[in-house]
Chain A
Amino acid sequence: MSVVLEDVRKVFADPERPERTVVAVDGVSLEIREGELVTFLGPSGCGKTTALRVIAGFETPTSGRVLIGGQDVSHLPPHTRNTAMVFQSYAIFPHLSVAENVAFGLQMRSVPKRDISTRVRDILDLVELSGLEHRAPEQLSGGQQQRVALARAIITEPRVLLFDEPLSNLDAKLREQMRGEVRSLQRRLGITSVYVTHDQTEAMALSDRIVVMQAGRVQQEGTPFEIYARPANRFVADFIGRVNFLEGRVVAAEGKLTRLDVRGVSLEVPSPAAPLSPGHPATLVVRPETIHLAPTAAAETAAFRGTIRRAVYLGSTIEYEIEWGKTTILAVIGSPLEHGILAEGAAVAFSFPPGTTHLLPGAV
């Protein structure tokens, strides 16, 4: 089923000061296509969870509409919407066993008892919890509780699966593993899914498309590649991955390429979708892993030169903070075993392939 949000706004009364209001979701419109997994990504308080709860029906939109499979559900109570949610806290019923928890949704739909036990068995098989049917929730590990929550949600064959930061309570290793399982399960079942997270790695790994939110508004929507390579604005560029902003001035726009002056160095970079006119300030987005370093002795003629202020060795990579005038440039160099380590205080030249950059209008 597709999910469509049409100009959804949600305004809350401030619980501390009821005369004031908080705009949690500020005019969000988007379409989630059948079978797709879309992530709402943003910092806490950006409105992503509220948007999810509006789809589930726990919140009624102040204005705007929610459509599931073309049907307007904006004012339907949550229990009639057939949207299954996996909660951040799992929300497993503590007084029911694993099997009772998983069976709950089917009981609510008055599925015959015999069918319930077959389906519960099958789904527990699927999430690899067979044999734990009669365990109490508190006897399960975090990962197992997570699987119960997942099984409980998918057993009802919902029209939409909703995930509210479901992996944030797991440790890093388990989180990665569960991430893979969620993705393959969702693909196999083909259920339209909305996934809320503040973890950009999780969003990149899971999503068909990412919706980046900030202050109740959609900042950008696109595939993980689009979001990372061509961020729509400074917020998105900064929030997804790490970034260097290089300030410059447009010298000439020549179709696919724009000529840019960065502190006296002339660069030819790919033009943004909306062309910039010469004379205007612009900001160049340079990802740290695209930067190459060379000792200055070896590159007397290099365009960009600086001094290494800090080197942080992380095993598979090494991170350098390079003082470049008043700006600090971050460079991440892979495989230090192969490339060696530059000392703090060393003078270096740095460069980057202009094709990997992205141009934003305006100064920093």
Chain B
Amino acid sequence: MSLPRRFGQTVRELRQLKGEPFLAAAIAGIFALLCLFILYPLARVLTVSVFPDGALSLRLYREFLGSWFIRQALWNSLLIGCLTALGGTAVGFLFAFTLTRTDIPGKRILALAAILPIISPPFVSALSIILLFGNNGLITRQLLGFQDVALYGFRGLLVAQIFTFFPVAYLTLRGILESLGGTLEDAATNLGATRWKTFRRVTFPLCLPGIASALLVLFIESIADFGNPLILGGSGFPILSVQVYLQVTGMYDLPGGAALAVILLVPSVITFLVQRYWVARKRYVTVTGKPTRAVIRAVSPGMRRLLFGACVAVALFVLLFYATILVGAFSRAWGVDHRPTLRNFGYVFSVGAQAIVDTLIIAVTSSPLAGLLGMAIAFLVTRRRFPGRRVMEFVSILNFAVPGTVIGIGYILAFNQRPLLLTGTAVILIANFLFRYIPVGIQSGVAGLRQIDPAIEEAATNLGASTQTAFRRITLPLLVPAFFSGLVFSFVRAMTAISAAIFLVSADWSLMTVQILSQTEAGRLGAAAAFSVILILIILLAISVIRLILGQLFEYHYEATFG
């Protein structure tokens, strides 16, 4: 569009906003929050890294990129990122395809196993791998009698990363395979294609954009991840996100940490831009709202058995990890004395009770706010026209591409002096979770809104409802499923995240994840396992409570409005 025309459109949009002061205020308020809690911390990271001694200088970057060790860390991060993306997407596709295109038994349990890693702290896999395959590991030491296991480093980390992140690929690809329905595949078969040809020429090509998307998302998540590399990386296999943390907490070098953070940020943001503006546009899937029955006989009986076997193997591995944590939590000393005990839990409640309460307070505060803000932004950017709409959309999901460590450093730098003195308070943790995890809320909100005919909201405005009334009375109740998943996601992440939070905890406000990590580092694996068990139980409980509350709230609401 030409500049004058764009200007004319802006003026028209502003004129219409004048009639809706609440909407205008909401837009302005959201912009202010996004600037303060997303852009400003990032800007601080950048400026601090290029003004190490008060004057503009690229000294830090020269030093770091000249360092063999940091180059190795960067290379390792990228390598693990790529391989995690490949492996995780492959496993995710295996599950998604098998569960949507075959009639194997036990689908529900397999589906559960495929999403279980999402609801637990990202380093549960690392912890289990140590318990199973470490120097004192159940399998390596007890069963196989190995003395020295080369677990730490590349191999152990890659396995942990794949198990941690394949569920993300699974969910993406499952959604795509489900919405493809079966009609196209039926058509291919009808035109004489064999099962294999149908898969190779129709199903797989149609999934390619989703596969590309899953690859990129897994890459971003993997290079940003912090917990698994910290536990499993070891000094022989440096990982950049861990180096950022060590630079700040080990050497008290904030500018250096900031510079490393920027180096880590570059591949993430590039990948994110590719994913969002190139791959995401290529999707073939259109949501018609018509449920189509998926094809059940897409594979030969032999292939079906093979897929089933592979899925069961992965699922068993996942379940083994969780069983290990459970057993570890109730064992006297892992690898030495497996008699059951409650000692670990006693220890956790004596030293960690405060962390449990703090975590709950922060998660319970931040997740409803994140859910609501996510729905509000999703609504504004998809259903309203105002100047800066695209900017709002971009900034609000930008944090998805920013590794947690970068955000953590940004928050320390941005909020450590008056008038924005937030370090050491609960507010900084809440704000961090709120703005880090709205992208998922926004995405599920946008997806939910696509299913709702815009005419329904137009009908409400047409009948005299202002934007905020239409949102509250019509859109939000219809978005309850999307709101639910946004809420659950941000709650789970607030309970399980560590990479940014580890910079922001203080004597007054600590988090369970940070406790689990320090117990693991101190070698108290039983206590770490007990903490993890409690964490997972809280999450499962919370999900049911959230579902109950939302059901009650809106069910009640339906009846209360009339008669």
Contacts and interface: CB of A to CB of B under 8 A. Distances in A.
B interface SS class? helix
Best-buried of A75, A83, A156 by chain B (most CB within 10 Å): A75
Contact of A19 (B1, B12, B15): B1
A104 to B, nearest CB: 5
A21 to B, nearest CB: 7
A156 B461 CA distance: 13
Contacts of A104: 460, 463, 465, 473
Contacts of A343: none
Contact of B562 (A19, A75, A94, A99): A99
A256 B528 CA distance: 101
21 contacts: A13-B1, A18-B1, A56-B458, A58-B458, A62-B8, A75-B19, A77-B20, A77-B461, A79-B462, A79-B465, A79-B467, A80-B464, A84-B463, A85-B459, A85-B462, A87-B458, A100-B561, A100-B562, A103-B562, A104-B473, A133-B563
Nearest to B20: A77
A82 B467 CA distance: 15
Contacts of B467: 77, 79
Of B15, B458, B467, chain A has the most CB atoms within 10 Å of the CB of B458
B474 interface: yes
Given A57-B461, A80-B464, 9 more contacts: A21-B1, A60-B13, A60-B15, A76-B19, A79-B463, A80-B19, A84-B463, A85-B458, A88-B455
Which of B19, B463, B464, B477 neighbours the largest number of chain A CB atoms within 10 Å of its CB?
Answer: B463
A69 to B, nearest CB: 17
A60 B16 contact: yes
Contacts of A56: 458, 462
Pick from B1, B459, B460 the residue with the most CB of A within 10 Å: B459
A93 B462 contact: no
A233 to B, nearest CB: 31
Interface residues of B, number: 34
Interface in A254-286: none
B284 interface: no
Contacts of A95: 474, 477-478, 554, 558
A122 B561 CA distance: 19
B466 interface: yes
Interface in A1-52: 11, 13, 18-19, 21
Contacts of B466: 77, 79
B469 to A, nearest CB: 7
Given A89-B453, A91-B456, A75 B15 contact: yes
Contacts of A326: none
A114 interface: no
A79 B458 CA distance: 9
B108 interface: no
A25 to B, nearest CB: 14
Given A21-B1, A60-B12, A62-B12, A93 B459 contact: yes
Interface string B444-476: 000000000101101111111111011001100
Contact of A93 (B8, B18, B474): B474
Contacts of A100: 561-562
B17 to A, nearest CB: 9
A295 B465 CA distance: 67
A249 to B, nearest CB: 47
Given A78-B461, A85-B458, A89-B455, A108 B469 contact: yes
Contacts of A302: none
B224 to A, nearest CB: 31
Contacts of B469: 108
B463 A156 contact: yes
Contacts of B477: 95
A69 B150 CA distance: 83
A96 interface: yes
A153 B460 CA distance: 10
A195 to B, nearest CB: 16
B5 interface: yes
Interface of B: 1, 5, 8, 12-13, 15-16, 18-20, 453, 455-456, 458-467, 469-470, 473-474, 477-478, 554, 558, 561-563
A109 interface: yes
Contact of B464 (A19, A89, A99, A108): A108
Contacts of A99: 562-563
Nearest to B8: A62
B459 A91 contact: yes
Given A13-B1, A93-B456, A84 B462 contact: yes
B460 A93 contact: yes
B561 to A, nearest CB: 6
B131 to A, nearest CB: 48
Contact of A87 (B459, B470, B563): B459
A97 interface: yes
B6 to A, nearest CB: 9
Contacts of A60: 12-13, 15-16
Contacts of B463: 79, 84, 104-105, 108, 152-153, 156
Q: Which 4 A-B pairs have the closest CB atoms?
A: A108-B464, A105-B463, A91-B455, A91-B459
B464 A87 contact: no
A77 B24 CA distance: 12
A77 B464 contact: no
Interface string A125-153: 00000000110000000000000000011
A133 B562 CA distance: 10
Contacts of A78: 458, 461-462
A97 B467 CA distance: 22
Nearest to B470: A79
B1 A94 contact: no
Contacts of A94: 456, 478
Nearest to B464: A108
Interface in A148-201: 152-153, 156, 162
A87 B455 contact: yes
Contacts of A58: 458, 461-462
A82 to B, nearest CB: 7
B454 to A, nearest CB: 9
B65 to A, nearest CB: 38
Contacts of A105: 463-464
A76 B464 CA distance: 12
A191 B522 CA distance: 79
B545 to A, nearest CB: 22
A91 B453 contact: yes
Contacts of B558: 95-97
Contacts of A89: 453, 455
Contacts of A162: 462
A193 to B, nearest CB: 14
Contact of A109 (B19, B464, B562): B464
Q: Which of A60, A78, A100, A153 has the most C-beta atoms of chain B within 10 angstroms of its own C-beta? A: A78
A21 B8 CA distance: 14
Interface string A243-258: 0000000000000000
B562 A91 contact: no
A134 B20 CA distance: 33
B326 to A, nearest CB: 41
Q: Which of A19, A76, A104, A134 has the most CB of B within 10 A?
A: A104
Contacts of B462: 56, 58, 78-79, 83-85, 162
Contacts of B459: 85, 87, 91-93, 152
B520 to A, nearest CB: 47
A56 B5 CA distance: 23
A215 B554 CA distance: 45
B154 to A, nearest CB: 45
Given A58-B458, A60-B12, A62-B8, A79 B1 contact: no
B428 to A, nearest CB: 38
B456 A108 contact: no
B453 A79 contact: no
Contacts of A96: 558, 561-562
A100 to B, nearest CB: 4
A108 B16 contact: no
